């Protein structure tokens, strides 16, 4: 594969790796590619157009919806719907899942997509990078019938594709279909994504930890013990603290440089903050495909059976040996396990 192939060329040359019929993956990724370019355009000019500030509404999370959140959600919903490939979408910005019955109203589309259209949106006003996270499954209820909640509540290990777009100093699409992780960088001048990071791998070890230490007093003891381990002078420690407050950006940096991202349970948030279905599962799929690891501190994220669309889960994700070290501290306090 020539290093500078485009996303389109890459999809075609890797189509055979997607275990379903040939055109389906292309249509899925192409709809995401187009939506990414449209959202990127708005995100990049957000400071210039009166699109900032609250949309005067709040989402199921009870968070003020930034207009760009709402905008990104609409764009991804529309582009996914138009390609006649998706039978349902669940989004952080939608209270319940949305049924897409197709132009012929026959519910013949086979995939469901779960999406966080603009994660880290509170960073928009301060010009810090934000991201889109997506997770794709094959439906499990009969084709030809309306999509059902169980199509969305599948374990993360059933994902057929997952990825993110990071709207940073450059805009990148990073995704997997279960055959490794590849990163594409957008050339905004011509609107083309180029394969800039083939076969991305998490370094097995790392010296960066990403966590909001402001909540230290609320953390479970295992996390407090692990943080002290990161900060003591021994071998390759103390580690470096890097926390952008945007999951996609922290994950992306840690995948390239090595590191661990932790959003743990706490006394104020017993299940942590991140959502299992459209944040942790897709990032965990990517992490494992890149040779990394993702758990809730005790259990593999991709093995967790979801029960609710917007359920939260504690999240430890990154370089394999760093996650293993953190789990070693968590294991001392089995009473803190969730499952």
Dump the DSSP string for 10-22.
HHHHTGGGSSS-H
Closer of 119 and 327 to ligand P6P (Cβ): 119
Instruction: Give the integer Cα–Cα distance in Å for 324 and 331.
Output: 10
The rounded radius of gyration (Å) of the Cα atoms in the chain is: 19
Q: Give, in order, the Cα–Cα distances in Å from 283 to each of 47, 115, 164, 313.
A: 28, 12, 8, 13
Which range of residues in 18-26, 233-241, 243-251, 329-337 is near ligand P6P by CB under 6 A?
243-251
For position 264 contacting ligand P6P by CB under 6 A, the verdict is: no
Residues constituting the chain: 339
Closer of 14 and 212 to ligand P6P (Cβ): 212
For position 120 contacting ligand P6P by CB under 6 A, the verdict is: yes
Instruction: Give the integer Cα–Cα distance in Å for 82 and 100.
Output: 10
Q: Which residues on adjacent β-strands are paired with residue 260?
A: 209, 318
Pick one of 159, 246, 289, 295: the residue that binds ligand P6P (CB under 6 A).
Answer: 246
Pick one of 24, 69, 93, 119: the residue that binds ligand P6P (CB under 6 A).
Answer: 119
For position 198 contacting ligand P6P by CB under 6 A, the verdict is: no
SS3 sequence of 139-198: CCCCCCCCCCHHHHCCCHHHCCEEEEEEECCCEEEEEECCCCEEEEEEECCCCEEEEEEC
# residues near ligand P6P by CB under 6 A: 10
Shortest distance (Å) from residue 289 CB to ligand P6P: 20
Pick one of 112, 160, 230, 247: the residue that binds ligand P6P (CB under 6 A).
Answer: 247
Q: Is 81 helix (H, G, I), strand (E, B) or coil?
A: helix
Which range of residues in 107-115, 118-126, 145-153, 311-319 is near ligand P6P by CB under 6 A?
118-126
For position 287 contacting ligand P6P by CB under 6 A, the verdict is: no
Pick one of 6, 26, 84, 212: the residue that binds ligand P6P (CB under 6 A).
Answer: 212
Shortest distance (Å) from residue 318 CB to ligand P6P: 13
Nearest to 77 by CA among 43, 35, 106, 107: 35
Closer of 249 and 319 to ligand P6P (Cβ): 249
Shortest distance (Å) from residue 223 CB to ligand P6P: 13
Which range of residues in 117-125, 182-190, 222-230, 284-292 is near ligand P6P by CB under 6 A?
117-125
For position 273 contacting ligand P6P by CB under 6 A, the verdict is: yes
Q: Is 79 helix (H, G, I), strand (E, B) or coil?
A: helix
Nearest to 59 by CA among 296, 278, 305, 266: 278
Pairing mode of beta strands 192-197, 240-241: unpaired
Pairing mode of beta strands 171-176, 181-187: antiparallel
Pick one of 8, 102, 178, 245: the residue that binds ligand P6P (CB under 6 A).
Answer: 245
For position 306 contacting ligand P6P by CB under 6 A, the verdict is: no
Contact flags string 35-74 toward ligand P6P, x per CB under 6 A: ----------------------------------------
Binding residues for ligand P6P (CB under 6 A): 119-120, 122, 212, 245-247, 250, 273-274
């Amino acid at each position: 594969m020539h290093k500078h192939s485009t996303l389109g060329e890459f999809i075609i040359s890797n189509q055979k790796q997607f275990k379903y019929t040939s055109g389906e993956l292309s249509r899925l990724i192409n709809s995401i590619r187009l939506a990414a370019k449209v959202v990127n355009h708005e995100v990049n000019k957000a400071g210039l157009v009166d699109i900032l500030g609250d949309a005067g509404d709040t989402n199921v999370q009870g968070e003020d919806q930034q207009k760009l959140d709402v905008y990104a959600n609409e764009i991804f919903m529309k582009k996914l719907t138009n390609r006649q490939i998706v039978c349902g979408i669940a989004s952080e910005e939608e209270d319940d899942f949305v049924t897409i019955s197709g132009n012929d109203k026959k519910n013949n589309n086979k995939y469901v997509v779960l999406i966080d259209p603009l994660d880290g949106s509170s960073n928009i006003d301060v010009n810090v990078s934000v991201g889109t996270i997506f997770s794709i499954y094959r439906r499990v209820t009969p084709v030809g019938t309306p999509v059902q909640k169980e199509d969305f509540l599948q374990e993360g290990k059933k994902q057929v594709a997952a990825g993110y777009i990071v709207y940073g100093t450059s805009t990148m699409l990073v995704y997997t279909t279960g055959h490794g992780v590849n990163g594409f960088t957008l050339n905004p001048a011509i609107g083309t994504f180029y394969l800039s990071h083939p076969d991305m791998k998490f370094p097995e070890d790392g010296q960066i930890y990403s966590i909001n230490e402001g909540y230290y007093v609320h953390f479970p003891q295992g996390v407090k013990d692990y943080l002290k381990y990161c900060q003591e002078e021994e071998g390759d420690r103390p580690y470096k603290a890097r926390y952008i407050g945007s999951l996609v950006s922290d994950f992306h940096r840690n995948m390239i440089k090595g590191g661990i991202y932790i959003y743990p349970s706490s006394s104020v948030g017993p299940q942590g903050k991140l959502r299992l279905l459209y944040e942790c599962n897709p990032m965990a799929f990517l992490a494992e495909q890149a040779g990394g690891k993702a758990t809730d501190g005790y259990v593999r994220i991709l093995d967790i059976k979801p029960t609710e669309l917007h359920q939260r889960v504690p999240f430890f994700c990154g370089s394999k040996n760093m996650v293993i070290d953190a789990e070693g501290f968590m294991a001392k306090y089995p009473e803190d396990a969730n499952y």
